[in-house]
Amino acid sequence: MTLKLYYHPLSSYCHKALIALYENDITFEPIVVDLSSEASSAPMRALWPVGKFPVLKDEKRGHAIAESSVIIDYLDTHYAHTRLIPADTDAAWQARMWDRFFDLYVMEKQGKLVEDNLRPVEARDPHGVAKAKEAIGKSYAIFEDKIGNGIWALGDSYSLADCAASPALFYANCAVPITDTTPKLKAYYERLMRRPSYLRALKEAEPFFDWVPMDVKPRLPA
């Protein structure tokens, strides 16, 4: 098979890549990687020594592509029939800006909470956890103010920004619930969770939800 995706069903960044593949019905071979196993992770590390997923291998074109946002860009260029990075140059930079926003200011802060739960009790960082939750709440408020009245982040067209927002908000909502204090964000979140491409990724992740080291475990949207 031409495309192989090295990933794990629980990974938020892998969810981004899966959304892009599913949005365009792109055929690929999924290869689940266990980072705790050298045998399982060695093929991916051979392609990308950083050792982080997702990694896309394009055997036909002879490339290994790392980082979820770059994978989406690559798929847009070579395989997609519906582009997730807008052709309009101004819309394109906005999509990339919100992609960075959700990765850096929501998903990365959520990662801090997960990391802290993996520590021994005596090594935990309550101050850092509180600051991470505060940052997530601030990000919610920023997006609430900027989202406008469209269906998706950039209006009526689903884009890279929504690929990033979906897993970032799904996991962050477990620790910092999205409430009626941000009504536009809440409605947007509910639309993201109903998007067939992301719902498919979530259903594939569901068997692993109890592995997530969080006090409130993720669950499929009602």
pLDDT values of the chain reduced to their tens digit, one per residue, 222 residues? 699 999 999 999 999 999 999 999 999 999 999 999 999 999 999 999 999 999 999 999 999 999 999 999 999 999 999 999 999 999 999 999 999 999 999 999 999 999 999 898 889 999 999 999 999 999 999 999 999 889 999 999 999 999 999 999 999 999 999 999 999 999 999 999 999 999 999 999 999 999 998 888 999 987
**Does residue 56 share a domain with residue 96?**
no
Residue 1, pLDDT score: 67
Residue 162, in any domain of the structure: yes
Q: Are the C-beta atoms of residues 99 and 163 closer than 8 Å to each other?
A: yes
Residue 215, pLDDT score: 84
Examine the fold and report which residue of 78, 100, 126 is the final residue of a domain before the chain moves on.
Answer: 78
**Does residue 117 share a domain with residue 45?**
no
How far from 33 is each of 39, 53, 62, 70, CA to CA, in Å? Answer: 9, 8, 21, 19
Residues 6+ apart with CB under 8 A from 180: 186
Residue 130, in any domain of the structure: yes
Two structure tokens written together for 220: 């499929």
Two structure tokens written together for 152: 């998706």
**Does residue 99 share a domain with residue 20?**
no
The values of phi and psi at residue 153, to 5°, are -60, -35
Place of tokens 């990687």: 33
Phi-psi region of 87 (alpha: psi -120 to 50; beta: other; left: phi over 0): alpha
**Does residue 176 share a domain with residue 145?**
yes
What angle (nearest 5°) sits at the alpha carbon of residue 138, between those of residues 136 and 139? 65
Residue 222, in any domain of the structure: no
Q: 20, exposed or middle or buried, with CB in 10 Å at 0-12, 13-18, 19+?
A: buried
Residue 211, in any domain of the structure: no
Residue 208, in any domain of the structure: no
Can you give the residue range of the structural domain that contains 61? 3-78
54 prior amide bond cis, ω within 30: yes
Q: 91, exposed or middle or buried, with CB in 10 Å at 0-12, 13-18, 19+?
A: middle
**Does residue 164 share a domain with residue 95?**
yes
Residues 6+ apart with CB under 8 A from 125: 116, 119
Residue 23, in any domain of the structure: yes
Two structure tokens written together for 40: 């399982």
Q: Tell me, what amino acid is at 44?
A: M
Residue 106, in any domain of the structure: yes
Instruction: Give the count of domains, the chain.
Output: 2
Global pTM value: 0.95
Place of tokens 């009526």: 156
The H or E element that residue 196 is part of is: helix 196-205
Report the CATH number at residue 42. 3.40.30.10
Residue 222, pLDDT score: 78
**Does residue 157 share a domain with residue 103?**
yes
Residue 203, in any domain of the structure: no
Place of tokens 């999924």: 30
Report the CATH number at residue 144. 1.20.1050.10
**Does residue 98 share a domain with residue 11?**
no
